[in-house]
């Protein structure tokens, strides 16, 4: 049996971990969808093949993250999603559309393929943007003001750019030739937009939330937390320098931009978590106020302790099986 | 016009009805695929691999729709039914959590290897991946039916200040209606997949496909249907007796028994009249309902009069139940008729093939009708005796729910059209294209122009 207070912390950490894995993993496959060229048929086939074996499992991390919110913090779940009712509906419909488009584009009549490609691209873009919009509204405390909507819209473009950025980095790692060169260009541009977006969110967040301001700018916490933004900035610079040198001879370092993007994503999420902890609904509800019964959380935690490492190991196994440059996807 | 409660109910019904269609196929189809793969490994006969390859694509597309429409569910509890999680979240949460942890990840994690990894892992690992996906889909049914059954027949919990707390997890999971509902659903999935395989195989034969694979899959599917159809009737009967014990008002509505009576007749058809609490145009077999439910011709069946204000609407249950049973009987007749014909080494006549094609999705009809019986039959409760549907609903503006509901409905119409169209396109393509590829273990076959089937995703 675990203590009620520590259970809430354990579960919010687990949820943050799933959310981070979701943002990285589904982030790159949504990004690939956003970047999908509608004209070059071969490129789009290769790009889709690079995410084919993974996207199902990637989306499962969203189900886990939202599931953990629902299971561990039911009051917060209903509060947040009542506020975000319509963007949630848009997100879900976009995810459905892009998910089925992935399968239909290959299996429906050949003449319909360009249509499903479009659906895949638009669905990916809308899914990313609605997530960004939801993030923006969350940071703004679900305010019903013009400023909040404007900021959320900005955040929508920011998250779409971030996903496109990690998607481009994924493609640099998984592809060769002209497509790889194209991916490097995409990564440079989207990386820059993403960088501006991160700065915008980091600036607005403490300015509108006094609690967040107090947290970041309280001596000596500032000193401990300072490496976070510095490291994030350094990684953006590092990534741009690396991108200038790619593609390199023997494909040396093709994985570096992707790893840099993964670390940037992790730092940003950690920064957000640090800003709001222990609130799960900013300014309204803490994790302890909204946590479910300890006997229920203990029951599920024992399972999670056993199962999550297993999930991670077979996820790694699956990535190893499809390691290296992408090949034509075949059902054999 | 409509209130938020009604719109939320319609939206939930639309989402769950659409979603359940796809897992109903994949739960059993995954086991069929495992069987095809296993037979290929054992015999090396390429026909098994061709059967596998054709059906794994249909599995992929069905599974994908199941996954993405399932994501909707994890959001909807909070958005439209906030009191549900606030009241019974301590029970429902962990059961849903275990479903995600033990089933969803298992399926999704090994699906990539199952679909695209055949050349990248050993044959053994690939067969294992196929088996794990099948186990995952079945585990998923286990957890979700445990939760659904607990909502029907709750036990193993205690109420403190209006909130349910778990006391005994084994009692919660293995609640009284769970074993029956789980077996009923798993067998329903088996019948649905069997009739889908039989129907699409029959379609290929009708289109002049003279390859071995559709004949083989037709035979296997009919064998499975022939065994499962009577088994399902037996399980359904046990499930009914269990319901009579724990939710007698549901049985009373299903059978249209308005007043408690001894020696109640079995109504084959009637039009229930909720206003006057009676039935019109009854077509009945005397004393049969009492006999089926109590195994005694003069047995007493409690009528709806004993559950005043606390029983489900009668007409939807009455009709849905008859649709389910009717389709089930048709499945029994057609599967036996066709399988015996094949057993006598005679090809199926065209009319029978056409009937099988028409019945490709008959499993969907029976499964949906069955779920409507069990879910509408729980009304007015969301969780029997603990929480009513009315009390669980959200207070979001009705306009928002109306908008999301309309979007979902449009989406589902588009998806269903595309899904059905794609399945038959794939069947047509399989008829036209020779499916033999060089990397199969084929005995020397003479082919003037071996055209490869497009395996490209």
Q: 3-state secondary structure string, B246-274?
A: HCHHHHHHHHCCCCCEECCCEEEEEEEEC
* Chain A residues with CB-CB distance to B121 below 8 A: 321
Among the partner residues A107, A295, A330, nearest to B61 by beta-carbon distance: A107
CA atoms in the 13 A half-sphere facing the CB of A238: 16
- Encoded tokens for A243: 């991108």
- Encoded tokens for B276: 């006057």
- Encoded tokens for A67: 């599931």
* Chain A residues with CB-CB distance to B422 below 8 A: 104, 107-108
| Span B374-402, average pLDDT | 88
Q: How far apart are CA A297 and CA A308, in angstroms?
A: 15
Q: Is the pLDDT of residue B374 over 70?
A: yes
Confidence (pLDDT) at B144: 93
**Percentage of residues of chain B with pLDDT beyond 90:** 46
Decide if B31 contacts B134 (C-beta within 8 A): yes
The residue among A79, A62, A67, A298 whose CA lies nearest residue B93 is: A67
Among the partner residues A80, A107, A307, nearest to B57 by beta-carbon distance: A107
Among the partner residues A97, A292, A331, nearest to B455 by beta-carbon distance: A331
Confidence (pLDDT) at B108: 82
Confidence (pLDDT) at B259: 85
Q: How many CB pairs under 8 A join A and B?
A: 235
Q: How confident is the model at residue B450 (pLDDT cuts 50, 70, 90)?
A: very low
Among the partner residues A88, A99, A296, nearest to B166 by beta-carbon distance: A296
Among chain A residues, the shortest Cα distance to B56 is held by A331
When mean pLDDT is compared across A61-65, B159-163, B442-446, the lowest value belongs to: B442-446
Among the partner residues B49, B68, B78, nearest to A78 by beta-carbon distance: B78
| Span A15-42, average pLDDT | 89
> In sequence order, what are the residues at sequence separation of 6 or more whose Cβ sits closer than 8 angstroms to the Cβ of residue A246?
A172, A180, A184, A253, A254, A257
How do B381-383 and B387-388 pair as beta strands? antiparallel
| Span B92-115, average pLDDT | 86
Q: How far is CA B238 from the centre of its chain?
A: 18
CA-based angle B129:B131:B132, to the nearest 5?
Answer: 65
Among the partner residues A53, A74, A330, nearest to B456 by beta-carbon distance: A330
Question: B421 CB near a chain A CB, below 8 Å?
Answer: yes
Q: Is the pLDDT of residue B448 over 70?
A: no
Confidence (pLDDT) at B442: 40
Decide if B144 contacts B69 (C-beta within 8 A): no
Beta bridge partners of A93: none
Q: How confident is the model at residue B1 (pLDDT cuts 50, 70, 90)?
A: very low
Q: How many residues does the structure list for chain A?
A: 332
Indicate yes or no: CB of A53 within 8 angstroms of CB of B75.
no
| Span B275-295, average pLDDT | 84
Q: How far is CA B279 from the centre of its chain?
A: 30
Handedness of CA A239, A241, A246, A252 (dihedral sign): negative
The residue among B240, B253, B398, B419 whose CA lies nearest residue B325 is: B240
Confidence (pLDDT) at A329: 64
Q: How confident is the model at residue A252 (pLDDT cuts 50, 70, 90)?
A: confident
Interface of B with A in 14-73 (CB under 8 A): 49, 53, 56-57, 60-61, 63-65, 67-72
Decide if A176 contacts A325 (C-beta within 8 A): yes
Confidence (pLDDT) at B438: 44
When mean pLDDT is compared across A316-325, B229-238, B434-443, the lowest value belongs to: B434-443
User: Is the preceding omega at residue B380 within 30 degrees of 0, hence cis?
Assistant: yes
CB atoms within 10 A of CB A248: 11
Q: How far apart are CA B208 and CA B429, in angstroms?
A: 12
When mean pLDDT is compared across A96-110, B220-234, B431-445, the lowest value belongs to: B431-445
Question: B349 in the Ramachandran plot: left (φ > 0), alpha (ψ -120 to 50) or beta?
Answer: beta
Distance from CA of A237 to the nearest CA of B (A): 35
User: Is the preceding omega at residue B131 within 30 degrees of 0, hence cis?
Assistant: no
Question: B313 CB near a chain A CB, below 8 Å?
Answer: no
| Span B174-203, average pLDDT | 95
| Span B55-68, average pLDDT | 90
Indicate yes or no: CB of B79 within 8 angstroms of CB of A56.
no
Q: How confident is the model at residue B446 (pLDDT cuts 50, 70, 90)?
A: very low
CA distances, B348 to each of A82, A157, B151, B202, B355 (Å): 56, 59, 45, 9, 11
| Span A315-331, average pLDDT | 78
Confidence (pLDDT) at B193: 97
CA-based angle B21:B196:B450, to the nearest 5?
Answer: 125
How do B261-262 and A285-286 pair as beta strands? unpaired
Interface of B with A in 322-381 (CB under 8 A): none
Gap between the terminal Cα atoms of chain A: 47
| Span B177-185, average pLDDT | 95
Q: How confident is the model at residue B273 (pLDDT cuts 50, 70, 90)?
A: confident
Indicate yes or no: CB of A66 within 8 angstroms of CB of B65.
no
Indicate yes or no: CB of B61 within 8 angstroms of CB of A77.
no
Q: Is the pLDDT of residue B447 over 50?
A: no
Q: How far apart are CA B106 and CA B103, in angstroms?
A: 5
Q: Tell me the pLDDT of chain A averaged across its residues.
A: 86
Confidence (pLDDT) at B151: 95
Q: How far apart are CA A48 and CA A326, in angstroms?
A: 10
Q: How far apart are CA A269 and CA B80, in angstroms?
A: 28
> In sequence order, what are the residues at sequence separation of 6 or more whose Cβ sits closer than 8 angstroms to the Cβ of residue A6?
none
Distance from CA of A213 to the nearest CA of B (A): 31
């Amino acid at each position: 049996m675990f203590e009620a207070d520590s259970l809430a912390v354990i579960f919010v950490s687990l949820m943050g971990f799933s959310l981070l894995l979701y943002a990285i993993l589904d982030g790159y496959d949504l990004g690939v969808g956003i970047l999908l060229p509608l004209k070059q048929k071969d490129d789009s086939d290769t790009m889709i093949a690079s995410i084919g074996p993974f996207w199902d499992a990637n989306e499962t991390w969203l189900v886990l993250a939202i599931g953990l919110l629902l299971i561990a913090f039911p009051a917060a779940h209903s509060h947040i999603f009542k506020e975000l009712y319509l963007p949630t509906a848009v997100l879900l419909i976009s995810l459905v559309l892009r998910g089925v488009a992935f399968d239909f584009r290959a299996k429906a009549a050949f003449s319909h393929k360009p249509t499903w490609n479009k659906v895949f691209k638009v669905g990916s873009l809308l899914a990313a943007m609605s997530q960004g919009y939801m993030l923006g509204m969350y940071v703004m405390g679900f305010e019903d003001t013009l400023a909040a909507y404007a900021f959320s819209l900005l955040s929508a473009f920011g998250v779409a750019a971030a996903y496109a950025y990690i998607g481009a980095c994924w493609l640099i790692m998984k592809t060769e030739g002209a497509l790889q060169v194209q991916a490097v260009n995409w990564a440079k541009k989207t990386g820059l937009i993403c960088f501006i977006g991160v700065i915008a969110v980091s600036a607005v967040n403490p300015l509108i939330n006094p609690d967040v301001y107090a947290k970041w700018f309280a001596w000596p916490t500032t000193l401990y937390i300072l490496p976070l933004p510095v490291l994030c900035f350094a990684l953006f610079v590092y990534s741009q320098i690396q991108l200038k040198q790619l593609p390199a001879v023997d494909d040396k370092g093709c994985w570096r931009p992707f790893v840099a993007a993964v670390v940037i994503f992790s730092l940003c999420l950690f920064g957000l978590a640090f800003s709001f902890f222990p609130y799960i609904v900013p300014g309204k509800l803490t994790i302890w106020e909204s946590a479910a019964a300890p006997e229920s959380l203990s029951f599920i935690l024992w399972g999670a302790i056993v199962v999550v490492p297993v999930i991670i190991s077979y996820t790694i196994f699956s990535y190893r099986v499809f390691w290296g440059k992408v090949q034509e996807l075949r059902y054999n | 016009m409509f209130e938020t409660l009604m719109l939320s109910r319609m939206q939930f019904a639309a989402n769950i009805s659409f979603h359940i269609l796809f897992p109903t196929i994949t739960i059993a189809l995954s086991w069929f695929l495992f069987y095809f793969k296993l037979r290929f490994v054992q015999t090396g006969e390429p026909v098994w691999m061709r059967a596998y390859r054709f059906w794994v694509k249909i599995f992929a597309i069905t599974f994908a729709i199941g996954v993405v429409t399932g994501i909707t569910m994890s959001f909807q509890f909070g958005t439209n039914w906030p009191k549900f999680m606030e009241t019974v979240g301590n029970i429902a949460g962990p059961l849903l959590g275990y479903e995600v942890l033990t089933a969803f990840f298992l399926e999704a994690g090994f699906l990539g290897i199952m679909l695209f990894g055949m050349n990248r892992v050993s044959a053994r690992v690939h067969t294992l991946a196929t088996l794990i996906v099948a186990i995952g889909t079945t585990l998923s049914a286990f957890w979700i039916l445990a939760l659904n059954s607990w909502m029907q027949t709750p036990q193993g919990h205690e109420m403190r200040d209006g909130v349910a707390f778990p006391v005994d997890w084994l009692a919660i999971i293995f609640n009284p209606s769970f074993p029956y509902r789980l077996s009923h659903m798993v067998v329903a999935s088996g019948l649905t997949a069997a009739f889908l395989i039989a129907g699409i195989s029959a379609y290929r034969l009708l289109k002049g496909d003279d390859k071995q694979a559709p004949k083989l899959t037709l035979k296997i599917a009919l064998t499975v249907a022939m065994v499962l159809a009577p088994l399902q009737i037996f399980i359904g009967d046990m499930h009914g007796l269990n319901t009579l014990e724990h939710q007698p008002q549901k049985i009373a509505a299903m059978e249209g028994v308005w007043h408690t009576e001894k020696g109640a007749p079995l109504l084959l058809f009637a039009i229930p009249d909720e206003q006057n609490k009676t039935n019109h145009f009854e077509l009945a077999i005397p004393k049969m309902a009492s006999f089926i439910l109590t195994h005694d011709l003069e047995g007493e069946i409690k009528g709806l009069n004993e559950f005043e204000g606390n029983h489900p609407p009668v007409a939807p249950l009455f009709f849905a139940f008859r649709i389910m049973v009717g389709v089930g009987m048709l499945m029994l007749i057609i599967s036996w008729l066709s399988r015996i014909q094949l057993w006598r080494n005679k090809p199926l006549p065209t009319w029978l093939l056409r009937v099988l094609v028409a019945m490709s999705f008959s499993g969907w009809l029976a499964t949906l009708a069955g779920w409507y019986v069990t879910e509408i039959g729980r009304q007015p409760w969301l969780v029997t005796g603990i929480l009513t549907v009315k009390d669980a609903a959200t207070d979001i503006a009705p306009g928002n729910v109306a908008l999301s509901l309309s979007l979902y409905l449009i989406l589902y119409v588009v998806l269903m059209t595309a899904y059905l169209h794609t399945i038959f396109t794939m069947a047509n393509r399989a008829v036209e294209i020779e499916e033999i590829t060089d990397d199969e273990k084929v005995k020397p076959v003479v082919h003037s122009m071996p055209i490869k089937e497009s395996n490209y995703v």
